Amino acid sequence: MRRGGWSSAVVLALLAGLAPGGSARAAGEGTPPLPLERLFDNTAVSDDARPAEADFDGSGASLSARDLAAAGWTPGRTLTVQGARLTWPRRQPGEPDNVRAAGQAVRVTGRGDALAFLVAGTGAAASGTGTVAYADGTGSAYRISAPDWRTGPLATKAVALPHVNTPGGRLAERARLYVVTVPLAPDRQVVSVRLPHAADLHVFAVSVRAAARGWTGSWAAATGGYAAVGPWTDRTLRLVVHTSAGGPRVRVRFDNTFASVPVRIGGATVAVRASGAAARGTPVRLSFGGAAGTEVPAGAQAYSDPLGFDVPADADLLVSFHLPGTVPAAPVHRLAQQRSYVSEPGDHTADGSAAAYPTTLTSWPLLAGVDVGGGPGSVVLLGDSITDGDRSTPDANRRWPDVLADRLLRQDAVPRYGVLNQGIAGNRVVTDRYPGDGVSADTAGVSALNRFDRDVLAQTSVRTAVVFEGVNDLLAGTDAQRVIAGLRTLAEQARARGLRTLAATVLPCGGRSGCTAAVDAERAEVNAWIRGAGAFDAVLDFDAVLRDPADPARMLPAYDSGDHLHPGDAGLAALAGSVDLRLLDAG
């Protein structure tokens, strides 16, 4: 989904630091800015026993306070969603808890890459243009659109609740809340925000998504779905992850993406792996806001506190966390290509030995990121199963992002960026495989369009992104023009954020069932556009690297894993080896 439908005029105005068609001081004129909670003029949340005390949409319908509490969205709680810290209104059911956008000036401060709004729409007119005021007297425009709270897409929601309250009783209908981000002018201090004139756009919270200064993303995994697991009760998961960049401090991130209930992390540790589930030395305890554990609300994230810990580059870490309650389903990255471990009952996070970890696991549940202190920032690789490492040797770290990370570590021509692998097996550019809500066996993720903010823009200290997707769309019957339109939207979103972004051409798949001559013709059209349109900052011609010169619709046999779609280890190494590292340098 293209956030807010950015026009070229608005984007140019943003980059220039001026509101289109007006003064740079537009957002600061008129009434003085006030904290958002002092502007609340609508009541969205009701007690189930007194639903008439709220009227969110003008028809008497409202959100259930009990459902919100069950999701972990309690009054006054600060939630981290898509990297932004947003506070759910500290109001009781039946009290005003949101603002209907009508041009109000809101006091918001901070410096970062984006404004984050916690919103929902109650009609067709839930969009509009607002302005931002900066401390240096300049301003910029933004456009925001809030999906409808009852009919909007589940793929992009922050949280969905199981009921809608009405004066006539509860309806078994999904109520949605969304976090929508819009770009900010870089390196400027925000002092206030003027909301659009859009009465159907309801704002519950707004904040500046701060840049992750002092951190480099070293490892990441994208959530592909919400799958049945275990169930695990009083178990410790010991996940094996492979670092790219190293550093003297560490923090980890747990994501409860797509969930409907909170998950409790009882305690967590980090250690350098010796072998299997055994640690090199004693695992070191992580904390969360000074506490040993944390509860991650539905749809939210939790970062551990910074920990002084020497993280080696190009090494395996053990991230162990105890799940004291029963966890029957969890957000997962299915294709880890790496064995991890599940313990016997109990908190075994501090165990140095492997004795308590008899069961292996081939996915990465809940854990979504490992950051290291210092460093130059990160390169994010957005892709499908080829980036995810499907058909590469398990437990060997031979995915092409791993090989690229090794190349960066061995050179001095460009910064030694961390490499974040955001590939999801089965992922598509324009179509959701996982619907974005509920327990599902399909873990191929929401579309690249619908996960771009979470999996690219919100990643730690991202400097450059590489987009390498499209073959799954084409094999599923999506025509080249739709794929091109999706890729163009990704390029525009990245450009609006000032993010250097590269595109890789789509690999041939001749010989695979369903990869017909017609599909190959569509692939050639997509690749011609990638090479010639200039939509991205640079192109990685992976098609030219791996195709068979004697039969360009196929991969060279030496690079083919055998299924005619996924490169094997040699092909993945060839992809990584072909990247001109200077193209990754954001300058």
Map 305-350 to HEC letters: CCEEEEECCCCEEEEEEEEEEEEEEEEEECCCCCCEEECCCCCCCC
Given a cut of 60, whether residue 24 has pLDDT beyond it is no
**Is there a contact between 473 and 228 (Cβ–Cβ < 8 Å)?**
no
Q: Centre a 10 Å sphere on the Cβ of residue 281 and count the other Cβ atoms it contains.
A: 9
Given a cut of 70, whether residue 21 has pLDDT beyond it is no
The CATH superfamily assigned to 376-587 is SGNH hydrolase (3.40.50.1110)
DSSP 457: I
Q: Provide the mean pLDDT of the chain.
A: 94
Outline where DSSP puts E strands in 174-305: 175-183, 190-194, 197-210, 215-220, 225-242, 247-255, 263-265, 267-275, 278-279, 284-285, 294-296, 301-303
DSSP-based three-state secondary structure for 485? helix
- Residue 575 is which amino acid? L
DSSP-based three-state secondary structure for 573? helix
pLDDT score at 25: 41
Distance CA 49, CA 47 (A): 5
533 band by pLDDT with thresholds 50, 70 and 90: very high
> Under 8 Å CB-to-CB from 390, ≥6 apart: which residues?
335, 337, 425, 566
β-bridge partners, 538: 502
| Residues 476-492, mean pLDDT to the nearest whole number | 98
pLDDT score at 186: 86
Q: Give the tens place of pLDDT for each residue, 256-279.
A: 999 999 999 999 999 999 999 999
pLDDT score at 30: 65
23 band by pLDDT with thresholds 50, 70 and 90: very low
By residue count, the chain amounts to 587
Given a cut of 60, whether residue 19 has pLDDT beyond it is no
Distance CA 449, CA 489 (A): 8
Report CA-CA distances (Å) from 82 to 86, 108, 453, 454.
Answer: 10, 18, 7, 5
The pTM of the whole model exceeds 0.75: yes
Distance CA 366, CA 42 (A): 35
For the chain, what is the total number of helices (H) and then of strands (E)?
A: 10, 37
Given a cut of 60, whether residue 577 has pLDDT beyond it is yes
pLDDT score at 587: 84
User: Element (H or E) spanning 359, and its range?
Assistant: strand 359-361
Distance CA 61, CA 168 (A): 9
Tokens of 353: 């030995």
Q: Give the tens place of pLDDT for each residue, 315-326.
A: 999 999 999 999
What are the residue ranges spanned by the domains of the chain?
A: 8-210, 214-373, 376-587
Tokens of 279: 């640690």
Distance CA 340, CA 334 (A): 12
Tokens of 7: 């026009």
Distance CA 40, CA 219 (A): 40
Distance CA 159, CA 81 (A): 10
Write down the residue that tokens 């050179």 correspond to.
411
